[in-house]
Chains A and B, each alone.
Chain A
Amino acid sequence: MTHFSESPIIVVVGRLIAPFIQLFGLYVIFHGHYGPGGGFQGGAMLAASFLLIRLCVGEEASQMHFKRSLGAPVGILGAAVFFGIGLVTMGAGGYFLDYSLLPFEDVSASKLRFFGILVVEIGIGIAVAATLVAIFDELMGGADNG
């Protein structure tokens, strides 16, 4: 962003709308069992709110919201949650992402599947949101150097 001019209307509207987009993104992630949506859509929605803040208030002020250096590590964390759940069930002797074999003793198999899918969706959402913000940051970083 070579010439960033601060317009109060854009700043106020962006800051007003972004929390509602984030709330709806979280709703989409956690409601993925029952309706349309899921980890990818909710994560992309969270990323859209972060990108809205980055476009509205500028690169420096948005670092308080979601730091530039956080993009890749949080994305790796999300992918690690996904593959961690999958590999734990493989280690328990089942297939990849066979949730009923998660190592919790006093929980029924249907509950295990429910919470297993929920945790995997959360992991996917975190990975997608952080990775899309990281792609945006990399593209914007090129603008400063070139």
Chain B
Amino acid sequence: MHWKLELILLVMLLLTAFISLKVRDLLAAVVMLGVFSFVVALLFVVMGAVDVGFTEAVVGAGVTTVLYIVALFHSTRETTD
């Protein structure tokens, strides 16, 4: 029924995952993981699991991103490998 919206979201999912793996700036990778979580939350909502999508949006895109950023304060922003 919502296959067009789901297709767009799944393409965005792959795109954000690929960017967060490949980008050199770790802060950009963290922000991309936040976008990834939010797209996953939107997918959950499209598939009818509103409660799961809500939790994913709050915890995955909100709190986890902040905790990753705090972990970045202890580290350097650029990857060395």
Contact = CB atoms under 8 A, between A and B. Distances in A.
Interface of A is mostly: helix
Given A44-B63, A51-B63, A136 B70 contact: yes
B63 A41 contact: no
Interface stretch (A62-70, A92-100, A115-123, A138-146): A138-146
A2 B66 contact: no
Interface stretch (B5-13, B16-24, B25-33, B47-55): B47-55
Interface residues of A, number: 22
B44 to A, nearest CB: 11
Interface residues of B, number: 15
Nearest to B55: A41
Given A44-B63, A51-B63, A139 B50 contact: no
Contacts of A41: 51, 54-55, 58
Interface string A25-48: 000100000001110110011011
Interface of A: 1-2, 28, 36-38, 40-41, 44-45, 47-48, 51, 55, 132, 135-136, 139-140, 142-143, 146
Interface of B: 50-51, 54-55, 58-59, 62-63, 66-67, 69-71, 73-74
28 contacts: A2-B73, A28-B54, A36-B51, A36-B54, A37-B51, A37-B54, A40-B55, A41-B51, A41-B55, A44-B55, A44-B59, A44-B63, A45-B62, A48-B66, A51-B63, A51-B66, A55-B66, A135-B67, A136-B66, A136-B70, A139-B67, A139-B70, A139-B71, A140-B70, A142-B74, A143-B70, A143-B73, A146-B74
